[in-house]
Structure 1
């Protein structure tokens, strides 16, 4: 809870300072989540949206556009008017995995997005069936090298 509060305060400080100096925002802000409601990315967006909207004096509306491993919502974020009123949540799926496995992805991570802040990190785990002959990452690499 303390980390979450510190994270939200950091985001509010970054956005709040710049926003008030420029008279921004004048209307609600859309925060697009490229996944269905209820997942980790959606939960983080909703945790951030409420205090950010309160600090900015305008609602931050979370909108979910799931599908394609996040590529549908990411493409919509890339096509959105770059006016500061259309923000998107980016993940490993939308910025690394999807472009790596699909060369025809409808957006370019390097040119279509401007990163603002890292708001969360989630742990990832490699898991394997217990009958496999290895118990750790080093053992897995050795097994893959031995029998690709």
Structure 2
């Protein structure tokens, strides 16, 4: 769910047609409006209006390109947990935002406050990234060896 949205009103907004529309777009975000309309059995203007409403309501947050980091020379991926020192949370957020190797950063509960996914060309690159964060807290890293389940679309309750 998108932060700042009303969960109840969003769920009501997700009627059967919108769920089918989201399912189709999740499988292929590049589908043309005319093809979506054909698959859903509605008019193209109906599809455009519904997609616009889903975007404006925050249900559809964006459309992303999925690029293989290894194909760009960045085959080493790691999850890094970070436990900040006192008063360091804002500094860590700012550092993560300006560190291009940090491709995901999540504020989490538990002993650690942050979980980051880092993508680098070699282990030495990970060491450089970790060194930047070590002045703000304690890190623990785990290399991603394989991904038997790649990121997948959300199940819309079907």
Structure 2 length-normalised TM: 0.21
Structure 1 length-normalised TM: 0.22
Instruction: Report which of the two has the higher share of helix.
Output: 1
Instruction: Report which of the two has the higher share of strand.
Output: 2
